[in-house]
């Protein structure tokens, strides 16, 4: 019926097709074995919370700061808490808080340092109803010291004008802001 040469070609062709299919679909015996679930020790996140709300008080009982977020996840290995949509009001014991928001944030283990990432906004309305708005892409806030800093470009809207610069040190308790370099300003004449 079939010649020996044709049967050998057909046999090797089928074997090659099987190897090609196995390679194409990357089928390996390990894929069919049950994989053990990830243990708590191996998981990078050891706890999470949604719709968080944190209050910190001063020694005299006044509110120092209040922070909310959509979600908080604690990374066990680094002891950092990742927060989504952080919203921080730093009262400084007064009725006119600095309102700080961003898309994401990272809070260190003691809560003494908050790294704000993407669409950072720091806003305050003073007793004379004047607004000050500071925007940047990234900023580090130290709530206990009421201090913020960044090395990124910054824009400050307020006091009848706009100031821009690269890098900033903001002493929020005293409402004093230092732009570090490439400072430009545009102000309205009164």
Q: What is the pLDDT of residues 135-148, one digit of tens each?
A: 999 999 887 788 88
- Which tokens hold the place of 137? 């892409």
Taking alpha carbons only, the member of 73, 68, 71, 69 closest to residue 47 is: 73
Contact 147, 171 (CB under 8 A): yes
Report CA dihedral (91, 138, 87, 95) to the nearest 10 degrees. 20
Distances 162 to 2, 87, 132, 177, 188 between C-alpha atoms, Å: 89, 24, 10, 13, 9
Residue 24 falls inside a structural domain: no
Asked if residue 101 belongs to a domain, the reply is yes
Whether residue 82 lies inside any domain: the answer is yes
Going by C-alpha positions, the residue among 159, 165, 169 that lies closest to residue 184 is: 165
Count CB atoms within 10 A of the CB of residue 114: 23
Domain hosting 134: range is 45-187
Tell me, what's the pLDDT at 95?
73
Instruction: Judge whether residue 119 has pLDDT over 60.
Output: yes
> For residue 149, which of 124, 166, 162 has the smallest C-alpha distance?
166
pTM of the complete model beyond 0.85: no
* pLDDT surpassing 70 at residue 111: yes
Q: What is the per-residue pLDDT across 155-172, written as a single tens digit (0 to 9) for each?
A: 989 877 888 999 999 888
Question: Residue 5: is its pLDDT beyond 90?
Answer: no
- In the chain, how many domains are there? 1
Domain for residue 27, yes or no? no
107: domain CATH number is: 2.60.450.10
106 in any annotated domain: yes
Residue 81 located in a structural domain: yes
Read off the pLDDT of each residue in 88-116 and give the average, rounded to a whole number.
83
Q: How confident is the model at residue 57 (pLDDT cuts 50, 70, 90)?
A: confident
Decide if 17 is inside a domain.
Answer: no
Mean pLDDT rounded to a whole number for the chain: 81
What pLDDT, on the 0 to 100 scale, is given for residue 155? 92
In a domain, 25, yes or no: no
């Amino acid at each position: 019926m079939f010649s020996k040469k044709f049967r050998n070609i057909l046999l090797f062709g089928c074997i090659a097709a099987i190897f090609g299919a196995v390679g194409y679909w990357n089928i390996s015996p390990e894929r069919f074995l049950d994989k053990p679930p990830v243990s708590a020790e191996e998981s990078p996140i050891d706890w999470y919370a949604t719709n968080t709300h944190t209050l910190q008080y001063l020694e005299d009982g006044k509110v120092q700061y209040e922070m909310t977020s959509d979600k908080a996840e604690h990374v066990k290995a680094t002891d950092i808490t990742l927060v989504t949509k952080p919203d921080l009001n730093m009262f400084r014991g007064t009725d006119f808080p600095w309102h700080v928001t961003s898309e994401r944030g990272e809070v260190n283990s003691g809560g003494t340092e908050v790294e704000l990432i993407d669409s950072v906004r720091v806003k305050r309305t003073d007793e004379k109803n004047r607004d000050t708005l500071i925007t940047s892409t990234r900023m580090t806030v130290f709530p206990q010291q009421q201090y913020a800093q960044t090395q990124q470009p910054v824009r400050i809207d307020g006091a009848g004008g706009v100031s821009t610069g690269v890098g900033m040190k903001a002493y929020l308790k005293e409402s004093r802001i230092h732009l570090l370099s490439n400072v430009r300003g545009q102000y309205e004449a009164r």
